Amino acid sequence: MPNIIFANTKGGSGKTTAALTLTSELLAAGAHVALLEGDPNRPLARWAERRGAPVIDGPKTRVGSAADAAVAIREAAGDSKLLVITTDNDDEAVLDWLQAAQGWGTFDIADPEGSPNQWLAQVISQAHLVLVPFAPTTLDANQVARTIRQINQTERISSKAIPHRIVITRANPGAVMTRDERDIRKSLLENALPLMDVSLADRPAFRGMFKHDALLSELTPDQVGGLPQARSNAAAFAEEIIEILRQPAAQKAA
């Protein structure tokens, strides 16, 4: 079961929205998805609870091992295809939860807090794919570089490849790129940094998943505008990620 982490040391880069968009596509395709949430604000847990999906409160569910965590997951998940595990305040137990979650779902998606923190570093070290969401502004560029450095140095010290891609989020939904986005794309490509072909556009439908406690496939045109474009964007985003996960580098990782 692949571990995918949306990692950026800066908040507001679109991590959680991108994570939920991917989750939404995977669930719609029939997968079991475990969401590992590091953000103490718990937006994913709250979204899941409002939908009636199981949520494990990690800090309250003390586990001493991955085996303990696996028992807690089996008990909480039941027949659900979605499970959210919050692990805020505990970068030691996160690896136990991660290992146990791998044994439960088809995909494991981690959404850390947007800050330079050990939780993020620990989960990166076990990832089959690290996605670095990046709202294309100069301000965010520096933090992307910091996240990529963390990945590269972990790769060097552990002698292990950690497949990663930068994904532009909050892109201009129109056909024309902003100047910032164009310049940043050019710089990333010139520096041979791995950039996903598909960007996630800034669309109301993506925010609508949180507003209406819904998957993208459950939203209706009277709830949000631009639904066909958002669905098409999300499908292309998920397809590219699945294609990356099929590549040998991701198969070998972790």
Partner 1 sequence: MMTKSSDAFGFEAIGEERKGLDLSDFTRSPGAPIDRPAAEAAREVADAAGFQSRGKPASPRRAGQGRANPPGKVKISDLIGRPDVPDEPRAQLNMMAPASLIVRFKKIEHERGVRAWEVLKAALDALEGPEQ
Binding test (CB under 8 A) with partner 1, winner from 119, 130, 133, 215: 119
95 belongs to the binding site for partner 1 (CB under 8 A): yes
Residue 142 touching partner 1 (CB under 8 A): no
Q: With CB under 8 A as the contact rule, which of the stretches 84-92, 166-174, 195-203, 208-216 interacts with partner 1?
A: 84-92
Residue 104 contacts partner 1 per CB under 8 A: yes
Where in 162-202 does DSSP place strands (E)? 164-168
H-helix or E-strand spanning residue 35:
strand 33-37
Contacts 24+ apart (CB under 8 A), 204-211: 204/230, 205/229, 205/230, 205/231, 206/17, 206/20, 206/21, 206/230, 206/234, 207/17, 209/17, 209/20, 209/21, 209/24, 209/47, 210/17, 210/20, 210/43, 210/47
The distance between the two most distant Cα atoms of the chain, rounded to a whole number of Å, is 52
Which residues lie closer than 8 Å to 142 by C-beta, 6 or more apart? none
Alpha-carbon torsion (37, 122, 33, 166), positive or negative = positive
Question: Taking CB under 8 A as the rule, which mask of x and - marks residues 50-69 in contact with partner 1?
Answer: ----------------x---
Span interacting with partner 1, options 45-53, 92-100, 196-204, 219-227, rule CB under 8 A: 92-100
CB of 182 to partner 1, least distance (A): 30
Residue with tokens 């590992």: 36
- Shortest Cβ distance from residue 16 to partner 1 (Å)? 16
CB nearer to partner 1: pick between 30 and 52: 30
- Measured from the CB of residue 1, what is the shortest distance to partner 1 in angstroms? 6
| Among positions 150, 169, 199, 233, the unique one binding partner 1 when judged by CB under 8 A | 150
Q: Is 105 in the site for partner 1 (CB under 8 A)?
A: yes
Strand bridging mode 33-37 / 107-111? parallel
Q: Of 146, 191, 188, 190, which Cα lies nearest the Cα of 168?
A: 188
Among 20-28, 42-50, 134-142, 181-189, which window interacts with partner 1 (CB under 8 A)?
20-28
- Whether the CA torsion 152, 164, 107, 39 is positive or negative: it is positive
Instruction: Show contacts with partner 1 in window 25-44 (CB under 8 A).
Output: 25-26, 28-32, 38, 40
- Number of chain residues interacting with partner 1 (CB under 8 A): 56
Chain positions contacting partner 1, by CB under 8 A: 1-2, 9, 25-26, 28-32, 38, 40, 66, 88-91, 95, 98-107, 113, 115-122, 124-126, 146, 149-150, 153-154, 157-160, 235, 238-239, 242, 245-246, 254
